[in-house]
């Protein structure tokens, strides 16, 4: 058995399955999963709002009792489930964010926050494994809804013995956060 593994923007993984560019994807589960797809959750992924641990041009704003979030620069995911969760959080918090950057890689969000470019929203697993994790702090504020990480494929592909074998392994591998 040989696997060809492609890494890339997780926001595009569902489209790659639907467009027959991939047989299986490890992806965040969208709020509305297309009916042709099957999804097996392997973990729940919490997200955090992170700030630079040092002094920044907006650190004084963040230390006030009620920060004016509309004046704080945000670094957010460009697309995908993490972006949808960030948008829902902004709406819930009644924030019209000042977007400093929209990036396709969660790792870049953590690095840009560590450099003092803005406040970021990123998955905890990415923050925890970042080489700059000591240069960011998590804000203890209203939580962001986690997303489900899992394996995804077209339902019709589950008839393929190789896909089915991989799927069965995934079914037994739920990893609590």
Domain boundaries, the chain: 10-44+147-171, 46-146
Instruction: Give CA torsion, residues 113, 92, 89, 24, to 10 deg.
Output: -170
Bigger pLDDT: 166 or 4? 166
- Give SS3 for 112: helix
Residue 97: φ, ψ to 5°? -65, 145
Name the residue with tokens 């392997």: 42
> pLDDT tens across 74-131, in order?
999 998 888 999 999 999 999 999 999 999 888 999 999 999 999 999 999 999 999 9
Please indicate whether the domains covering 10-44+147-171 and 46-146 agree at the CATH topology level: yes
Global pTM?
0.84
* CATH of the domain spanning 46-146, picked from 3.30.930.10, 3.40.190.10, 3.40.630.30, 2.70.150.10: 3.40.190.10
CB atoms within 10 A of CB 24: 21
Question: Are the C-beta atoms of residues 144 and 85 closer than 8 Å to each other?
Answer: yes
Place 175 in a pLDDT band, splitting at 50, 70 and 90: low
Q: Return the CATH fold of 10-44+147-171.
A: D-Maltodextrin-Binding Protein; domain 2 (3.40.190)
Strand segments, DSSP code E, in the chain are 25-28, 37-52, 73-77, 98-103, 119-123, 136-138, 144-154
């Amino acid at each position: 058995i040989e696997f060809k593994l492609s890494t890339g923007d997780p926001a595009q993984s569902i489209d790659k399955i639907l467009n027959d560019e991939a047989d299986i994807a490890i992806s965040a589960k969208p709020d509305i999963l297309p009916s042709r797809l099957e999804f097996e959750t392997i973990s729940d992924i919490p997200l955090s709002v992170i700030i630079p641990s040092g002094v920044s041009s907006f650190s004084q704003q963040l230390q006030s009792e009620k920060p004016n979030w509309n004046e704080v620069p945000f670094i957010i995911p460009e697309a995908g489930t993490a972006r949808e969760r960030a948008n829902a959080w902004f709406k819930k918090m009644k924030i019209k964010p000042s977007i400093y950057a929209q990036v396709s890689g969660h790792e870049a969000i953590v690095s840009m926050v560590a450099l003092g470019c803005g406040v970021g929203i990123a998955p905890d697993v990415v923050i925890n494994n970042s080489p700059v994790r000591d240069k960011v702090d998590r804000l203890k504020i209203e939580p962001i809804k986690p997303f489900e990480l899992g394996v995804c494929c077209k339902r019709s592909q589950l008839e393929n013995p190789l896909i089915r074998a991989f799927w069965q392994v995934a079914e037994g591998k739920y990893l609590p956060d």
